Structure 1
Amino acid sequence: MRQRMLKAQLDLSVPCPHTQDFEPCMGPGCSDEDASTCMMSEWITWSPCSVSCGTGARSRERYVKQFPDDGSVCTLPTEETENCVVNEDCSPGSCLVTEWGEWDVCSATCGLGMKRRERMVKMPPADGSICGAEVLEVEKCMMPECHTIPCLLTPWSEWSDCSVTCGKGLRTRQRMLKSPVELGDCTEELEQVEKCMLPECPIDCVMSDWTEWSECNKSCGKGHTIRTRIVTMEPQFGGDPCTETIHRKKCKIRKCSRGQGNSDEKRQHKEQREKRRSKQGRVEGASEHPGCRMRPWSSWTECTKLCGGGIQERLMIVKQKFKTAQLSSCKDRKEIRACNVHPC
């Protein structure tokens, strides 16, 4: 007979091959009786004890796997009997328990482990007391020596700082392999990465480019011209605030002739009075300019922005040009003004 031990069962659904192997053998100098060789099976599990309390008997059996080659009868026993004790104390204060069950498989596939077996309470004590019989036994078990070293790892390190100073970023942590790689296969991850979130990054105000300077608002004398820009992105999360949206500067095309400034003002007042009296609902009367006759101002265009500073335009187109017109005074005109300058 030869034997081998089970080191590990990798797939519980597939039965492992046998661990014992038999073959007939004949030793020299044996008598005829001893020459009879029977091959017997392993002993079958013990039967339950014959009593439920006190000392009884139990038995187990085996069978002949192969009879002797010479045709003789097997003399080896096929049944074995032994005493068994169940519930040593059979007094009214004792409880009846079953026999011990079979030992569980060892908890380790190699090296030192633990195994356990259980039994059940069949009947509690007749006097109503608590059953004091043990129903669980645990003992050590030794499996074949382990030949590989498990994957030994250090604890995880602390998480690193976030990869950014504001907004969304990443952070990492690592651990190291303590056992040499060649002594065991280690598939555990050695680095972990996770997202991290810091306060939102500040966003500065963004503004458009300045427009061209508008025409001077006076045809003679001192006036002013403007240029504008709009807010394309409001500041967020403590970013730099927006600055002015309108620039104004002085302008002077030419000196006004004597009395021209007063006459211009009188003409403007007259035009306003005529406008109020008009029953056709005209927007604005025609404005006279030296050397040409102009059409009335068009209506202001819609503001380019609802808030934060926009611009509006209106046009005055030449209707009739006289021979005495000067190039600088008789041409189409455009006015620009700021609108909706309140902050958003």
Structure 2
Amino acid sequence: MVSIVLFLSFLTFSGAQRCSIRPYEAKGERKAGSNGYVIEISSTKSRGNTSNGFIPGENYQISLRGWRTEYTVQTFRGFILAAQFEDNSPAGSFQVVGHKDARVSPICPAGGVSHKSMSSKTSVHITWKAPEVAKGCVMFRASVIEKKNLWFSEEEELTKRFCPEEGKRKVQPLDDPSATCCACDVANYELEFVGIWSRHTHPKDYPTLEHLTHFTDMVGASHSSNYTLWKIGEASTDGMKEIAEWGNTYKAEVEIKAKASEVRSLMKIKGLWYPEVQGTTKSQFVVNKYHHFVSLATMFGPSPDWCVGVSSVNLCLPDCSWVEERVFLLQPFDAGTDSGPTFMSPNSPSEPRQPVHWITTKLDPLSPFYDPTTDEIPPMARLTLRRKQTTETTCKTDDEYRAEANNITSTSEDDEYKDRRECMMTQWESWSLCSATCGKGIRIRNRVYVFPVKAQVFHCHRQTTEKQFCNAKVNECADSEAFNSKCSVGSWSAWGECSVTCGHGSRSRKRSFLNPSTKEEDCNVELERYDICVGENGEDCSATPDPLCRTTAWSDWSPCSASCDDGVRVRTRLFFYVEHEHRCTNVNLQEKENCVMQSCRRFIEINSDEICQEEKAVGQCGGNFPRYWYSNETQRCERFIYTGCKGNRNQFETEEGCKQACYAGYEKDKALIPNHQLFEEFGDKEINDGGAPVSCKISEWTPWGSCSVTCGRGKKIRSRQIVKLPRNGGTKCPEHLIQELRCQLRPCPISACQTGPWSRWSACSVTCGQGNQLRRRRVMRGRNGDWEENECKEAESESRECFGRYSC
């Protein structure tokens, strides 16, 4: 019994360590005391400070603020706030979706939040949901950055102990396979799996072929104590081996159905494949007095046989009720069927199979999880088991529960629809060929609804695409860093210093072979990479740099903001002396550039059935972007506000685009996506459908627009649009569709305001037709009596009309 309890403890919070709350931007040693900064806790249901403890599952407002007087308010720049039990495991959850000042802390993602920016703040207020099961007191610890070299942490009022209210502790299920259940009611649960694994959370030796990253289709079950999907210390079954190496669930399903009387619900859950690895997938299941355990497994990859999941989690409470919610931060385990040490290792079967074991930071120096400085691996995913409803019923004998389970087909997400005529599907197509010619790749198969219109009307949710990992005919890729035991390489080092202090120079970073005996000439692998950089004193070497405006080096480029077609990627840098940023308005702290991903048109046409069944996801950032999504409940395209990140594919920039993708039988003769994407998709290729030649058709020039400025020198533009694309050898379209003309207006008056330079004009708000462009600048208004603020009339932003590149 003792070993089982320890096993589940490791499953949830492997090697729990105290969260680091030293902010990245903090320089030097922390100062003694708290300088008047305090943590305050109040209930969201009543006013005033809460001092008598928390009630499990309730929401509380956690505030961080400085001292106040009648005339002054203490301000700060940055912060980190962490909530952990006294055993250092995460406690409860902060709700930061859409928060203007707070985000999940990059250095304490399991139980901490931190600042979004280094702008001046007087206080921060964040909602915190207390844990459903109170296993002890919660320690709130905070760090505050007042200035670059002035920060405070944990002392005095920056640490607060918050204990459960007397008599309000909730009991916790006993995760012991021999535990019995006394709950006669039947309970329905929702399972939610959220991917966390990314190159940012686990940067060491992250897979070089990012398009292969995934969590495979998942298999889970609610079951009795007489069944287990996988177990630490025991060898994997054939079904578990197929899941761990290839994501193939068939054998595991057969094994589960062979013990049908011991399994109440069989779950086959859609996996998360690139670019949706950090997405969400859900399922439902049923538990009863006899089948009160839950297990789940999914492979993450590319990897030899590495998985995450839960094993024999108990949902029945000692007081004969069902737990409301259980949350697990999933740690990686090795299924023991393949001995490869890295993500990109070639196939290397373990004979005989090794026992299933946890992956640790000390196991193998070649492992991407190896780190001798810590025992903690950041979580790969978050699993939430949430009770939806209970149904009152009388208790039955174990034999009755077994007989009932043997006669019930309850496979979530798919088989529950299989007997409905409206949800009938064709047979699966044959598997595609493996996408790789050496090493490992992906294979795909599809099926469609027999009656697609009825399937949409009756809300059928069945999987239309299935993916699996596959082994190519050639096991190892010659001279490649991927799937090659000899040429495997480690992670890139950080970028070195720029070669110049001003103007444009170069910087480099390196990596090395994991196998020390490998020579550079043996492999065709890049070991050193160069990049163009700008010296820390700026592009203009003739200008005298302001030492107080010194910045850090540029960060790496962010991922593309779009998963298909056009997007933007960003890189940033910070001031060393943030308290002097008001004098550095000419220094750019952010750069953007366009990026182009896979074609949205083809992607949506292939996956529209799945996309239109996804629930609305507003995201987790602070933006405000109007979008449309298809609601299966109302069967309409509805408007919502997207916050800018962590959404899903069921979002469209226009209502028309939503209708074209999701309305059955909707007019499809128009492009699914704006026509410039068709143009980019075919590029310079000759489009030939066998018909007569069609030449490119161009609209007339628009009238000249207004001058880009209100005084001084500026520009005005006119444009024309592509009305029809050429085909069958017709005349090609011209490259230049925009003309500019200089304009001179009255001289600009001398202003009492200090203004920074204008930013570049934003992209046109539309891809076709008439839209708007914006540009911004910083306006500094006097705060020290040099001039009155109300005399400053300068605009911080300007807009102008623009026309999309193409005709609608």
More helix by share: 2
Larger Rg: 1
